[in-house]
A and B are shown apart, each in its own frame.
Chain A
Amino acid sequence: MSKHVIVIGGGVAGLEVAGQLSKVGIEVSLIEKESKTGGHLNNWYKLFPDRRNSSEVKEYLNGITANNGINLMTDTTIEKFNRSRSCFSITTNGGKELIADAIVVATGFDLFKSARKEEYGYGIYDNVITSADLEEMFRKGEIVLTDGSVPESIGIIHCVGSRDEKVGNYYCSKLCCVTAVKQAIELREHLPESKVFCYYMDMRMGGAFYEELYREAQEKWGVNFIRGKVSEASETIEKKLMVKVEDTLAGRPLKMNLDMLVLMAGMEMSAGGEKVAGMSGLKTGENRFFAAADNHFGSNKSNIEGIFYAGTCTAPMNITETISHARAAFTEVMEWLRNGKR
């Protein structure tokens, strides 16, 4: 009898793990709350660090999930969760009950809601946008202010909702820095006349080829990096945005007038993930992400046998790491189905 695995979440991690499982003949049900799979990847224009088109990764993911009989359930959420011995049963919002031998949680992340940092004026002032909004502008190929004009000076604020005790997020989302660098380059590319300023606390360029991209942004594209956290943004009479920031390298306070402000929203545990955690008894950590059974050799395992994690539901990760993590989840699931399950 073939085994059945439920994958919760149809983003990069969910698609990868579902694809790998279906390839070896395991029956897979993929639950996705949106009407199409792909998750946050759908909102991206180009990817760091090599700035390839995001559709290439999407094509790959569609490729491995096609033709293997994955039971894809879009517009579906989980309403009930039960566990008896080592079998799991999940009831969906449509009232359908699924019985599975293992579950892979790939609920991903939510972007920090930038309106919570009211001092940056998202939702209050025109032309304060988030990194996700800017990606969408790039995809449309139109970077304009609300009045239709082209911005001349653009500020990018790093660490919005990351490393911020005031909003209760101590952790580093680790990808906003490189996203900012990528977007700064693309802004300069699209708007050669514009000036771009990045306000950062630290530049965390830990990934492969990130530092190179950072150097390129400075040398080739003339992006200005200012070390200091923006304290607040306000609107001037001419409807420009004024930011107050301390340049901590020069040791002086600055006030700058900008046309557009981009907030690098951090990553938070997804609302869907929190719902799953509440229903299933899966443990979450102090950062509210799912807590892995072991940080070093059990990052796919949960506190419940037979439930595994894949991707950013456990911590911020880039696409490369997410895919690796999902493949690791696949091997853990296989091990469980072959030897672990009683």
Chain B
Amino acid sequence: MKFDPFIIPFNIGLYFILIYVVSRSVIWFRDLSRPDKLRLQRGFFGIAFGLSLKEIFMESLIHRKIFKTNIRLGYMHMSLAFGWFLLILFGTIEADIFSAKHLNAPYKAIFFRFFNPDHGRMGFEAAYGFLMDLILAFILSGLLVAVLKRFYSKIVGMKKTTRLKMSDRIALTSLWLIFPSRLLAESFTCGAYGTGSFLTGSLGAWFATFLPAQQMAYPFWWLYSISLGTFFVLLPITRYMHIPTELFLIFMRNSGIKTGDKTGTYSEVQTYSCSSCGICIDACQLNFSAGITNIQSAYLMKAIRNNDDVSEIADNCLMCGRCDQKCPVGIELSPIRMIQRRAGEAENDFRNIYKGYFRSRQPIISEKAIGSSNYSFLHETDPEKADILYFAGCMTHLTPTIKNSMIKILDASGVKYNFIDEQGGVCCGRPLMLAGQDKEARELINYNSQMIWKSGAHTLITSCPICYKVFKESYYLDVEVLHHTQFIKMLIDEGSVKLNFLRNKVVYHSPCDLGRGSGVYDEPKEVLNHVSRLQKSNFEDGNSLCCGGSLANMKISSQKKKKIALEAAIELTKDNPDILATACPLCKKTFSAVTETRVADISEIVAEALIEKPVKKNNISNVKSIRELANI
């Protein structure tokens, strides 16, 4: 038998999706910026290609990262992805070895048993048949988990699963039908001919005892073909587009392409790579503390794909970065959200063309203009020349204990410094940035940059992680930026300050912008270890919680913020520490309002531990030493 009409739906679907993916890739490549095109070309002939193949195997097929987070969920994803891959691979080999000629059309492999019903009676053929049955059983076991998850998400240890739109539902149904229909089609054929291995063979033999297997097989081969065809045709407008897109994402990421601050190919590829696995939903404190369940990154990605108005979703986020940390696909979720914030509600006149198959991109400018800002009342200042600047930041001025502690520590260390915003400074610009107002933020950044530049300093110390992050990332200054915890660590290592051991039990809360946002995890804990008994919590480093006080969320009510703070504080103070220590004035303020435990910034604890009168007057003015120490 060479051909049967039932393969037509499959063939249409397959060639459609192949042509679609190729043309989509051409469009994506065309839309890349010139430097990114070069990166991609270099990556293709360089190490990035090899790395990508490895990562594609580990992540797209095995789903290693999902396994790490959740074994059952990982098994589900792996059995479907890796199993299907094996089925295609070994099916093609089977068709190649056992057919009359080599290099067959794909349908010959997919519907191998239909065209070779007599195959697999003995020897190597039977052994191969056993392998194919094993793979099918592997996939079906994963499918069973998937079906159960859809109706009862706790089965895979997930509290929430993503909600679906109509096309997703149809695609999901066809996906679910593919493998059972293959099982039944093969079983009936095998039953009729007395072939097949442990699964298809036994099932077929059993069916044959009470059903006309020969007649039953044909409709199921049709169903198998139709499910495959439907799935392929719907793929581009459903979340299953992540299957081909993730390959591009991995290759682009390995080639060194970054999200940037505008929509482009990379942000779009990332958006389509989201499989809606729902791990971000479980990681989100807005979900598990505040009961807000419609704004998580999976929903943002979905809404962007659907060309919905996303401003409500984009603005309702603490920007704590917990989902970035947990995303198994490695999508840069926060930068994508920031792009949407910049877009605001202004640009929504874009349309679905070709019913979503080719999406016209939302033209997002990198600077949102809301009226015109006017910072002309800020007068130019001439700061005193100093090597080291201390910039407390607005939030530190609102928590004067931190400010006073830092002054005490700075004075005790003997370092010559200039307290640059002692009389009140200008905002670092990050709150405006988080609100998507980059242009206004840039004005403030320029003002502060000028002041810092004029002072001639080589080191800038700040007490606020919010300032720290923006100084590090968005100020183009030849200045070493240190958070005060890093600076204190340096002083301790140098012996510039001598500290008592306080014997307090302390638990450390890592602030979002300092920890996940800037990668400063160790110095604060080392300082605390030096002066107190540091306790472990269940939420350390990348998994640390947000205090809920974040400036980034412009939609949440204060009651819900408070709930987040309260639950985080309860988690952190489980082992009854004397002090809940943090390294951020905003975290301190937020936690102080919800817990009876004393909340203190690390600088306060260090200032208390300080042995007055330094042993030796130390004068750090050596540029090199500071830089070297800061790089520890």
Q: Residues of A at under 8 Å CB distance from B?
A: 116, 118-119, 121, 124-125, 165-168, 231-235, 244, 255
Tell me if A234 and B558 are in contact (CB < 8 A). Answer: no
Within the complex, the shortest CB–CB distance from A157 to chain B, in Å, comes to 14
Tell me if A116 and B592 are in contact (CB < 8 A). Answer: yes
Contacts A124-B404, A168-B559, A255-B424 known; A118 to B593 CB distance under 8 Å? no
Residue B397 lies at the interface, judged by CB distance under 8 Å to chain A: yes
A-B contact pairs, 23 of them (CB 8 A): A116-B592, A118-B398, A118-B399, A118-B401, A118-B589, A119-B398, A119-B399, A121-B400, A124-B400, A124-B401, A124-B404, A166-B558, A168-B559, A168-B562, A168-B593, A232-B398, A232-B400, A234-B397, A234-B400, A234-B403, A235-B400, A244-B424, A255-B423
Tell me if A232 and B589 are in contact (CB < 8 A). Answer: no
Which chain B residue shows the least CB distance to A165?
B558
Which chain B residue shows the least CB distance to A253?
B377
Within the complex, the shortest CB–CB distance from A86 to chain B, in Å, comes to 35
Which chain B residue shows the least CB distance to A242?
B423
Q: Give CA–CA (A244, B425) in the complex, Å.
A: 12
Within the complex, the shortest CB–CB distance from B414 to chain A, in Å, comes to 19
Which residues from A are CB-within-8-Å of B400?
118-119, 121, 124-125, 232-235
Most buried by A among B401, B424, B562, B592: B424
Within the complex, the shortest CB–CB distance from B463 to chain A, in Å, comes to 14
Tell me if B397 and A116 are in contact (CB < 8 A). Answer: no
Tell me if B592 and A118 are in contact (CB < 8 A). Answer: yes
| Given A168-B562, A232-B398, A255-B424, 5 further pairs, Cβ under 8 A | A116-B592, A166-B558, A168-B593, A234-B397, A234-B403
Which residues from A are CB-within-8-Å of B559?
168
Q: Give CA–CA (A128, B189) in the complex, Å.
A: 90
Which residues from B are CB-within-8-Å of A165?
558
Q: Give CA–CA (A229, B404) in the complex, Å.
A: 23
Within the complex, the shortest CB–CB distance from A210 to chain B, in Å, comes to 30
Within the complex, the shortest CB–CB distance from A234 to chain B, in Å, comes to 6
**Residue-wise interface mask of B (538-573) relative to A, using a CB-CB cutoff of 8 A (1 in contact, 0 not):** 000000000000000000001100100000000000
Within the complex, the shortest CB–CB distance from A122 to chain B, in Å, comes to 10
Tell me if B593 and A167 are in contact (CB < 8 A). Answer: yes
Contact among A125, A166, A167, A232 for B397, CB-based, below 8 A: A232
Which chain A residue shows the least CB distance to B399?
A118
Give the bracket for the number of chain B residues in contact with chain A: 10 to 19
Within the complex, the shortest CB–CB distance from A329 to chain B, in Å, comes to 30
Which chain A residue shows the least CB distance to B562?
A168
**Residue-wise interface mask of B (388-401) relative to A, using a CB-CB cutoff of 8 A (1 in contact, 0 not):** 00000000011111
Q: Give CA–CA (A197, B404) in the complex, Å.
A: 26
Q: Residues of B at under 8 Å CB distance from A?
A: 397-401, 403-404, 423-424, 558-559, 562, 589, 592-593
Which residues from B are CB-within-8-Å of A233?
400
Within the complex, the shortest CB–CB distance from A14 to chain B, in Å, comes to 28
Q: Give CA–CA (A255, B422) in the complex, Å.
A: 13
Which residues from A are CB-within-8-Å of B592?
116, 118
Within the complex, the shortest CB–CB distance from B477 to chain A, in Å, comes to 26
Which residues from B are CB-within-8-Å of A125?
400
The 3 closest A-B pairs by CB, nearest first: A119-B398, A118-B399, A165-B558
Tell me if A168 and B558 are in contact (CB < 8 A). Answer: yes
Tell me if A116 and B398 are in contact (CB < 8 A). Answer: no
Most buried by A among B400, B558, B589: B400
Which residues from B are CB-within-8-Å of A167?
593
Q: Give CA–CA (A235, B562) in the complex, Å.
A: 30
Q: Give CA–CA (A167, B423) in the complex, Å.
A: 26
Which residues from A are CB-within-8-Å of B401?
118, 124
Q: Give CA–CA (A121, B404) in the complex, Å.
A: 11
Within the complex, the shortest CB–CB distance from B35 to chain A, in Å, comes to 44
Within the complex, the shortest CB–CB distance from A134 to chain B, in Å, comes to 21
Which residues from A are CB-within-8-Å of B589?
118
Which residues from A are CB-within-8-Å of B403?
234
Q: Give CA–CA (A328, B398) in the complex, Å.
A: 44
Most buried by B among A118, A168, A231: A118
Which residues from B are CB-within-8-Å of A118?
398-401, 589, 592
Within the complex, the shortest CB–CB distance from A170 to chain B, in Å, comes to 8
Which residues from B are CB-within-8-Å of A119?
397-400
Q: Give CA–CA (A166, B559) in the complex, Å.
A: 10
Q: Give CA–CA (A121, B562) in the complex, Å.
A: 23
Q: Give CA–CA (A175, B589) in the complex, Å.
A: 27
Q: Give CA–CA (A149, B141) in the complex, Å.
A: 83
Which residues from B are CB-within-8-Å of A121?
400
Q: Give CA–CA (A119, B558) in the complex, Å.
A: 19
Q: Give CA–CA (A235, B400) in the complex, Å.
A: 9
Which residues from A are CB-within-8-Å of B424?
244, 255
Which chain B residue shows the least CB distance to A115?
B592
Which residues from B are CB-within-8-Å of A116?
592-593
Within the complex, the shortest CB–CB distance from B388 to chain A, in Å, comes to 20
Which residues from A are CB-within-8-Å of B593?
116, 167-168
Q: Give CA–CA (A200, B398) in the complex, Å.
A: 19
Which residues from A are CB-within-8-Å of B397?
119, 232, 234
Q: Give CA–CA (A90, B558) in the complex, Å.
A: 36
Q: Give CA–CA (A179, B322) in the complex, Å.
A: 47
Which residues from B are CB-within-8-Å of A168?
558-559, 562, 593
Q: Give CA–CA (A267, B589) in the complex, Å.
A: 21
Q: Give CA–CA (A235, B545) in the complex, Å.
A: 34
Within the complex, the shortest CB–CB distance from B425 to chain A, in Å, comes to 11
Q: Give CA–CA (A17, B416) in the complex, Å.
A: 66
Within the complex, the shortest CB–CB distance from B205 to chain A, in Å, comes to 68
Which chain A residue shows the least CB distance to B404?
A124
Which chain A residue shows the least CB distance to B557?
A165
Q: Give CA–CA (A221, B559) in the complex, Å.
A: 42
Which residues from B are CB-within-8-Å of A234?
397, 400, 403
Most buried by B among A168, A235, A255: A168
Q: Give CA–CA (A34, B559) in the complex, Å.
A: 33
Q: Give CA–CA (A121, B424) in the complex, Å.
A: 15
Q: Give CA–CA (A232, B394) in the complex, Å.
A: 10
Q: Give CA–CA (A165, B559) in the complex, Å.
A: 9
Q: Give CA–CA (A241, B596) in the complex, Å.
A: 29
Which chain A residue shows the least CB distance to B402?
A118
Q: Give CA–CA (A3, B262) in the complex, Å.
A: 76
Which chain B residue shows the least CB distance to A244?
B424
Which residues from A are CB-within-8-Å of B398?
118-119, 231-232
Which chain A residue shows the least CB distance to B397?
A232
Which chain B residue shows the least CB distance to A119?
B398
Within the complex, the shortest CB–CB distance from B378 to chain A, in Å, comes to 11
Q: Give CA–CA (A124, B559) in the complex, Å.
A: 28
Within the complex, the shortest CB–CB distance from B295 to chain A, in Å, comes to 21
Within the complex, the shortest CB–CB distance from A165 to chain B, in Å, comes to 5
Q: Give CA–CA (A168, B589) in the complex, Å.
A: 13
Which chain B residue shows the least CB distance to A252?
B377
Which residues from B are CB-within-8-Å of A124?
400-401, 404
Within the complex, the shortest CB–CB distance from B419 to chain A, in Å, comes to 11
Within the complex, the shortest CB–CB distance from B461 to chain A, in Å, comes to 19
Which chain A residue shows the least CB distance to B559?
A168
Which chain B residue shows the least CB distance to A286?
B559
Within the complex, the shortest CB–CB distance from A96 to chain B, in Å, comes to 29
Within the complex, the shortest CB–CB distance from B576 to chain A, in Å, comes to 21
Which chain A residue shows the least CB distance to B589?
A118
Q: Give CA–CA (A316, B562) in the complex, Å.
A: 23
Within the complex, the shortest CB–CB distance from B5 to chain A, in Å, comes to 68
Q: Give CA–CA (A233, B401) in the complex, Å.
A: 12
Q: Give CA–CA (A234, B403) in the complex, Å.
A: 10
Q: Give CA–CA (A118, B558) in the complex, Å.
A: 19
Within the complex, the shortest CB–CB distance from A228 to chain B, in Å, comes to 15
Q: Give CA–CA (A235, B404) in the complex, Å.
A: 10
Which chain A residue shows the least CB distance to B395?
A119
Which chain A residue shows the least CB distance to B594?
A168
Q: Give CA–CA (A248, B69) in the complex, Å.
A: 53
Q: Give CA–CA (A234, B423) in the complex, Å.
A: 9
Q: Give CA–CA (A244, B400) in the complex, Å.
A: 14
Q: Give CA–CA (A255, B397) in the complex, Å.
A: 14
Which residues from A are CB-within-8-Å of B558?
165-166, 168
Within the complex, the shortest CB–CB distance from B472 to chain A, in Å, comes to 25
